[in-house]
Amino acid sequence: MNKSDRIALIANAVANADNKVDAKFADLLDELKQEKLAEDLVLEHGLLEASEKDVEDEFISLDAVEREEVEDFDSDENLVDMDSVSESMREIFGE
């Protein structure tokens, strides 16, 4: 089989292919199509300005907004009231 025979076989295989996507890749294909549509829309019309509601929604979704700061008295010496330390501990520190 020479080079032209191989090319003919490949051309025949491509021409007779049914171009169907395997079912397990259907979701991926749909997602890629949606991304392509979104990209085309942005390229054609540009980005939209964020509304006040969009900013508020994003702000609320941030982890830092919902997280409560917990004071760790063992790790942060600036938060410890030295007057509440026992007498034996004061002696150790010479106070």
Domain ranges, ordered by start, for the chain: 69-95
Residues 50, 55, 57: CA angle, nearest 5 degrees: 125
pLDDT of residue 69: 65
**What does pTM read for this prediction?**
0.32
In tens, the pLDDT along 48-88 reads 788 899 888 888 777 655 566 666 656 666 665 656 767 78
pLDDT grade for 43, boundaries at 50, 70 and 90: confident
CA dihedral over 87, 88, 91, 93, signed as positive or negative = negative
pLDDT of residue 72: 64
Select from 77, 4, 7 the least CA-distant residue to 89. 77
Mean pLDDT to the nearest integer, 3-16: 83
Choice among 4-8, 40-44, 64-68 with the minimum mean pLDDT:
64-68
